[in-house]
Structure 1
Amino acid sequence: MDDRKTAARKPARRSGDRDGFTAEERAAMKERARELKEASSKADGEAELLAKIGDMREPDRTMAERLHALVKAHAPTLSARTWYGMPAYAKDGAVLCYFQSAAKFKTRYATLGFSDKAKLDAGGMWPNAFALKEMGPAEEARIAALLKQAVG
């Protein structure tokens, strides 16, 4: 057997990874497992969401606080919770949108993401995640419109 073919099939490992996941990815998976374990006993997902926002660094904390206020104002039927340790908002128990801080996975911008449950369909292709570096009036207006559309 040709050793070159066998070696080519093995996925490349990232430096320092034992199992192919970064430390940040492993931490997110542990947070999700804890969330699932505590879901049945936890009545107030909003308190946990607000605590996660409080732990964020600036400017992500301010953007997450503003997003929370926008959700409360424009999509009040969504319930606050955490998802993989990130602030998230659910409809009928399923995550509809989430906020990922830039520090979460050491990226250069925060992300506002939507799940497939969000009704953002626009033809054959549409965005389901948005980079956020700042949140001014124009961004807030766009987010409010996206939230209203996502909820349907």
Structure 2
Amino acid sequence: MADTDHTDGFSASERAAMRQRAEELRSISGVKGAAKRAREYEACVAAIDALDGLDAVIAQRLHVIVADEAPHLEAKTWYGFPSYASDGKVIVFLQPSSKFDTRYATLGFSEDAQLDDGAIWPTSFALAAWNDAVDAQVRALVRRAAGHLSRLSA
């Protein structure tokens, strides 16, 4: 990595993400209930609004998909990423390509996502474009991850 500081091994982008996470935690410190959810939702929308190009398209579509397919998930940010959680645990998140200057955005799922499928299964997906097929696949993944396995076959 070109921007790695050899004293701690983290890139400038990684250190910025850690600072962002610390700020996220500070911003909700002492805030509870509906006020906390509202603040986290606003932060998620602001993170999406700050994106450009394909990152913005993907983040906006993911936001709509989560609202449609898993409305019980709560929007928030996680290391500055648009994220969606259940009981405070992030289930699905989007790492925009611009975050770490990568060639594609990454749709990620935490260990709390219900994607288990035998002894091995994917927990992240590269998104290099958005089209109807991608939309359908992301919808199915979000439904499944959020615990709506019975709706997958519908």
Q: TM-score range by the shorter chain?
A: 0.7 to 0.9
Residue 152 of structure 2 corresponds to none
Per-residue deviation, 1:59:
1.1
Residue 93 of structure 2 corresponds to 98
Residue 150 of structure 2 corresponds to none
Question: Is residue 27 of structure 1 aligned with residue 16 of structure 2?
Answer: yes
Whole-angstrom CA distance in 2 between matches of 1:84 and 1:78: 18
Question: Is residue 82 of structure 1 aligned with residue 77 of structure 2?
Answer: yes
Query: For 1:48-63, what aligned pairs fall within 5 Å after superposition?
Result: 48-63=43-58
Q: Bigger CA drift: 80-89 or 56-65?
A: 56-65
Q: Which amino acid aligns with 1:101?
A: P
Q: Which runs of 5+ in 2 are unaligned?
A: 148-154
Whole-angstrom CA distance in 2 between matches of 1:88 and 1:59: 17
- Local SS of the residue matching 2:111: coil
Whole-angstrom CA distance in 1 between matches of 2:10 and 2:87: 31
- Local SS of the residue matching 2:20: helix
- Local SS of the residue matching 1:65: helix
Per-residue deviation, 1:38:
1.6
Q: Which amino acid aligns with 1:74?
A: E
Whether contact under 8 Å (2:107, 2:127) holds in the other structure is yes
Query: For 1:1-150, what aligned pairs fall within 5 Å after superposition?
Result: 16-17=4-5, 18-40=7-29, 41=31, 43=36, 44=38, 45-150=40-145
Q: Which amino acid aligns with 2:67?
A: K
Q: Which amino acid aligns with 1:104?
A: K
TM-score (norm 1): 0.87
TM-score (norm 2): 0.86
Q: Which amino acid aligns with 1:85?
A: G
Whole-angstrom CA distance in 1 between matches of 2:101 and 2:57: 18
Per-residue deviation, 1:151:
1.1
Which consecutive aligned stretches of 4+ in structure 1 deviate over 4 angstroms post-superposition? 13-16
- Local SS of the residue matching 2:56: helix
Q: Which runs of 5+ in 1 are unaligned?
A: 1-12
Higher Rg = 1
Whole-angstrom CA distance in 1 between matches of 2:71 and 2:20: 26
Per-residue deviation, 1:136:
0.7
Q: CA 1:93–1:16 in 2, change beyond 3 Å: closer, same or farther?
A: closer
